[in-house]
Amino acid sequence: MTTSPASDAAAALLAELVGNGVRDLVLAPGSRSQALALAATSLARSGAVRVHVRIDERVAGFTALGLARETGAPAAIVCTSGTAAGNLLPATMEAFHAGVPLLLLTADRPPELRGVGANQASIQPGIFGPFVRLQIDAPVPEGAGLPTAWDGLGAQAVRAALGLEGEGLVGVAGPVHLNLPAREPLSAPREVTAAAGELPRRDASTPVELARGPRTVVIAGADAGSDAEELSHAGGWPLIAEIVSGARFGRLIVHGYRELLRDESLGGRIERAVVFGHPTLSREVTALLSRTDVDVLAVRRGGEALDLNGCTTAVDALTVADGAADRQWLGAWMAASQAAVVDLSAPAPDQDGLYSADKAARLGAVRAELDVVRKRVDREMLVDAAWRATWPHDRLVFGSSRLVRVADQVLGGKKVPVHANRGLAGIDGTISTGIGIALASQAEGSPGVTRVLLGDLAFLHDVGALLLPGDEPAPRIQVIVGNDGGGTIFDGLEVAAAAAAEDLDRAFYTPHTANLRAVAEAYGWEFAHVSTRSSLEQALTSPVPGPQLIEIPLER
């Protein structure tokens, strides 16, 4: 019977990952990684791990990112050697900056085949540079039946990815790279078993106590979560919550926060800002956090500590000192906030007119009602409809498109799970991330729909994510594309005023004529073209049995 040290080592490594709480593995097929792939599929048959196969490594990386975003547990990615490993860099960078745990398992040639021009051999050790918490170029497995060369790497990798180890980064999650070289024979038939274990946990940090004196606001950026709302409530402080924060709920949220931060009687009097997550959606918040006369405390999450003013204090946890809230300070913000609420609901039907004995009045009321339901969808209507259709058992994912900024400006409070790749705010990998979130949130029969709201360029950038294996469970997901034919997010940036119209179109807007219906058909997704209020609401509230692509044409 053929034996393979590579198979023994791969089986032991993946079993160790499962024993330390890893439940999801994304596999991009390749020859050099065959021992890892076969060990993964064997473990999947036993139910020890969920395996998700993707042919594109960039898609695989962002799918794993979505899985880890939703679960908080490290998701593993297996790929072969060469350019395959390089395609994991975008997702790795995002995971580093957003503080998301990932395990990068890259197969490699043995040392004697490096640097000599061997096929598909490159310089993989250190390829992810500063974007990983831990990088190990593992030894080559030798001798069948002996203790494997990769023993102990699984537990070490999980702990590092969760931020339980690592100088200066304790408590901060992120990516870990295990480069795994092997010699032939690269695999041998075998069944792999593993006992599912729990994730290692870190002891709770001792919180920093906040005095009540300074005039304080709580800032919730991307991935802040409910901690921001809880601290705001405990302190009686205004809550400035980005739409991607997962904290835009509760009675202290501030509507129209951009304008209020520019108001000298409010924003100009702030003495302290407490920050959760990564704020990225407004210049006004950036300006506030850059002020040296404001005491800024930031709860550490990503690979880079927030310090825009050069004197921000990084903390692990916070609590509020006993005492009474500053009701005058809070009241001023709440009054201004109430005046800034945006009401996007459709006008109520004219019941008197609809049932009037006067034919002209009745026809006028009917015509007004038809105008409401036939009204063309604009950006505000689109984000509002997606927000209203989403509930706590659902997930809403925002792409880094113009729509997320519109949503941040106009949407009110609602406690729903929200995700967005705002670590670097790139447009790549949005659909893949959303699919990973959908798969994780719907595992074990959990209900809900994942909605991915993005622009046409972000959609086209990740169109390969639509290719889903036919033998894996199809996620309940709606990819909602606001299609204005190009990158109109540049309308609000400096270049729009500086460049000629011809240059804007060619180098920035990148107009296209892609047929999204044909794309959906090619990948086997259900498709809907929506242009009116009534059809949009119907599309977002109808049952979602599987993957759906919804296209909404928008004005340039």
> Dihedral angle at the C-alpha atoms of 267, 293, 208, 234, nearest 10 degrees?
-20
Q: Which residues contact 171 (CB under 8 A, 6 or more apart)?
A: 163, 202, 205, 300, 316
Which helix or strand (DSSP H or E) is residue 181 part of? strand 175-181
In whole angstroms, give the CA distance from residue 183 to residue 260: 63
Helix pair 5-19, 153-161: axis angle to 10 deg: 40
Q: Give the C-alpha distances (Å, rounded to integers) separating 205 from 6, 162, 200, 542.
A: 40, 15, 15, 45
Six token digits for residue 108? 């490699």
Domains and CATH numbers, the chain: 5-181 (3.40.50.970), 208-339 (3.40.50.1220), 375-553 (3.40.50.970)
What pTM was estimated for this model as a whole? 0.94
305: three-class secondary structure by DSSP: coil
Residue for token pair 């310090």: 307
Token representation of residue 120:
């598909």
What is the per-residue pLDDT for 166? 65
Q: Which of 124, 130, 200 is nearest to 160 (CA)?
A: 200
Tell me the pLDDT of the chain (556 aa) as tens digits. 578 999 999 999 999 999 999 999 999 999 999 999 999 999 999 999 999 999 999 999 999 999 999 999 999 999 999 999 999 999 999 999 999 999 999 999 999 888 888 888 888 999 999 999 999 999 999 876 555 789 999 999 999 999 998 655 568 999 999 999 999 999 888 889 999 999 999 877 889 999 998 999 999 999 999 999 999 999 999 999 999 999 999 999 999 999 999 999 999 999 999 999 999 999 999 999 999 999 999 998 888 999 999 999 999 999 999 999 999 999 999 999 999 999 887 777 778 777 788 878 777 777 776 666 778 999 999 999 999 999 999 999 999 999 999 999 999 999 999 999 999 999 999 999 999 999 999 998 999 999 999 999 999 999 999 999 999 999 999 999 999 988 777 776 677 777 787 877 777 778 889 999 999 999 999 999 999 999 999 999 999 999 999 999 998 7
- What are the residues facing 175 on neighbouring strands? 102
Tokens (6 digits) for 437: 């979130």
Residues 6+ apart with CB under 8 A from 202: 162, 163, 164, 170, 171
Residue 269 CA, chain-centre distance (Å), reads 34
Q: Which amino acid is at 168?
A: G
Q: Is 501 exposed, middle or buried (0-12, 13-18, 19+ CB in 10 A)?
A: exposed
Cβ neighbours of 324 (radius 10 Å): 7
| pLDDT value for 146 | 56
Contacts of range 304-312, beta carbons closer than 8 Å, 24 or more positions apart: 304/97, 306/275, 306/278, 312/275
Q: How far apart are CA 249 and CA 266, in angstroms?
A: 21
Judge contact between 312 and 272, C-beta under 8 A.
no
DSSP at 323? S
CA distances from 531 to 347, 355, 439, 551 (A): 19, 29, 29, 8
Q: At what angle do helices 89-98 and 57-71 cross, to 10 degrees?
A: 20
Give pLDDT, residue 1: 53
Q: Which amino acid is at 509?
A: Y
247/153 Cα distance (integer angstroms): 36
Q: Which helix (H) or strand (E) holds 338?
A: helix 327-339
Number of Cα atoms under 13 Å in the Cβ half of residue 397: 33
What six digits make up the tokens of 44? Answer: 């999947």
Number of H helices, E strands in the chain: 20, 19
Q: For residue 449, report the phi and psi dihedrals to the nearest 5 degrees.
A: -125, 140
Angle in degrees, CA 18, 21, 27, rounded to 5:
55
